[in-house]
Amino acid sequence: MRSALEIKENISNLRDELDAIIAVSEREERDLNEDESSRVTEITDTKIPHLNKQLKTAISVEKEMWARASKRASEDIDSRAAADGTLDTETGLSRRTVSAIKIPARARAQTELKAYVGPNAEQDAYIAGNVILAGIYGNQRSAQFCRDHGLQVSGSMNTGENGAGGFLVPDEMQRAIVRLREARGVFPQYANRVPMGSDIITIPRLLTDVTAYWVGEEVEITESEAELGQAELMARKLGALTKVSTELDEDSVVEIGDLITQSMAYAMADKIDQAAFNGDGTSTYGGVVGLKNALHASATQGAATGNDSALTLDMADFEATAGLYPEYPGADPRWFMSKAVYWASAARLMDAAGGNTNVTIGNGPPTMMFLGYPVTFVQVMPSTTSTLASTIVAYFGDLRLGASYGVRRSVRTEVSRERYFETDQIGIKTTERVAINIHERGDTIRNRPIVALKTAS
């Protein structure tokens, strides 16, 4: 029988598929066609109700399993209580009771947490840390904590056996991973986000507009049609692997939860950005062709002769790039570049313009701006400030209009005790299924919502 988690994921996938079908019809301003209507009915009237029944059964079975485990744990506690004199002789029960989550003083965070925020940050990190200690390290005290508070640890990790296994990421950890990944990753923040109900979906794109004509009296209007195209989103499995020391202990449980959650989130975010900005279509980037290789030559502005580095780019280079960008109603264009390139080029040019005082230089801008538009730093873009001949160092435009990011399945976590055995470390792997497509590549003015600045050769 499938686990409750697997059934919930299937239900979530079906609901994502429903959202995708409805979103397409709404974008095209039409009713559902026969095939779409049939699929919607099948999902809502048959598949989801059937899965809900399975889910109810699975939850009931798992609750019974956990009840048995808790009973065994209670019996163990009572046995220890009888041995150390804490057994209540009148009731026959241990005086030790399961209390609300309380973080021991020795396990409290010694430094500011990075992955968890808010009033319950330390508690959330403590929960995640105990799940990790139980799932990865087979720590019995953490395993007992998980049983007492209904936190599931699955696979061989729960028994302390060697080999690869998995653990179910608690909600607190899942939220932190998603928040951190989207805070660090640039592409998912600014691209058009699309829920995927299947591994491959297509989204409509407008290639050409309807043509308007001046019409004389009693003259028939010339017919024209808008040309529609499609962009395909194909979900690919993305995986990131990190390693942690086996010497982490119970006194560091909060830091463990914070550290590993942050590592997982950053690894996934960087991989997505690397593919979206630098992908060349090879397996290194999951077959994704990123902005660097997708944009047409007519959407790329070359810097003036001799301007072959961030240190030599001039204001005319950036102005020409911005001028290459057409006007789109409702667009929200911005600059994308690495922090090093920004300070060596854009900030240098603004400093040279004058008008600064020690106060304005000391305070800095509340938001990084250049030529009237916000600047977003991209970790994976070129950060060398010396010679960068024939290299794209900045993009300008609205990613939402030219690129799409599809989400098929959320993060799944697995661990291995053998991968880094010789260095006494444990491997942690996270996977998810996502799709990236740069579908407006700038070969015509109509589909040029993103333009690039390339240094001179």
Both 135 and 78 in a single domain? Answer: no
Is residue 388 within 8 A of residue 292, CB to CB? The reply is no
pLDDT digits (tens, 9 = 90+) for 166-209: 455 566 676 677 777 777 789 988 999 887 877 777 777 666 65
The residue among 276 and 407 whose pLDDT is bigger is: 276
The pLDDT assigned to 226 comes to: 56
The pLDDT assigned to 258 comes to: 73
Both 74 and 128 in a single domain? Answer: no
Supply φ then ψ for residue 411, to 5 degrees.
-70, 135
The pLDDT assigned to 107 comes to: 66
| Residue 218 domain flag | no
The pLDDT assigned to 163 comes to: 32
The pLDDT assigned to 136 comes to: 62
| Residue 213 domain flag | no
The pLDDT assigned to 206 comes to: 60
The residue among 308 and 120 whose pLDDT is bigger is: 308
pLDDT digits (tens, 9 = 90+) for 244-265: 555 555 556 676 677 777 777 7
Supply φ then ψ for residue 242, to 5 degrees.
-135, 170
Both 384 and 306 in a single domain? Answer: yes
The pLDDT assigned to 54 comes to: 86
The pLDDT assigned to 428 comes to: 66
Both 344 and 284 in a single domain? Answer: yes
Both 130 and 60 in a single domain? Answer: no
Both 351 and 446 in a single domain? Answer: yes
Q: Domain of residue 79: give its range.
A: 1-89
| Residue 96 domain flag | no
Query: Tokens standing for 318?
Result: 């950036």
* Beta-ladder partners of 376: 336
Domain boundary among 89, 124, 156: 89
The residue among 445 and 367 whose pLDDT is bigger is: 445
Both 80 and 119 in a single domain? Answer: no
| Residue 217 domain flag | no
pLDDT digits (tens, 9 = 90+) for 379-434: 899 988 888 889 999 999 999 999 999 887 666 666 665 555 666 566 666 777 88
Both 21 and 166 in a single domain? Answer: no
The pLDDT assigned to 305 comes to: 95
The average pLDDT across 120-134 equals: 77
| Residue 309 domain flag | yes
Number of domains in the chain: 2
Domain boundary among 34, 54, 89: 89
Both 82 and 118 in a single domain? Answer: no
pLDDT digits (tens, 9 = 90+) for 322-376: 999 988 878 899 999 999 999 999 999 988 887 777 667 676 665 789 999 999 9
* Beta-ladder partners of 194: 406
Both 47 and 143 in a single domain? Answer: no
Both 80 and 141 in a single domain? Answer: no
pLDDT digits (tens, 9 = 90+) for 92-110: 433 333 346 777 666 666 6
| Residue 346 domain flag | yes
| Residue 36 domain flag | yes
Both 255 and 395 in a single domain? Answer: yes
| Residue 42 domain flag | yes
Domain boundary among 89, 121, 152: 89
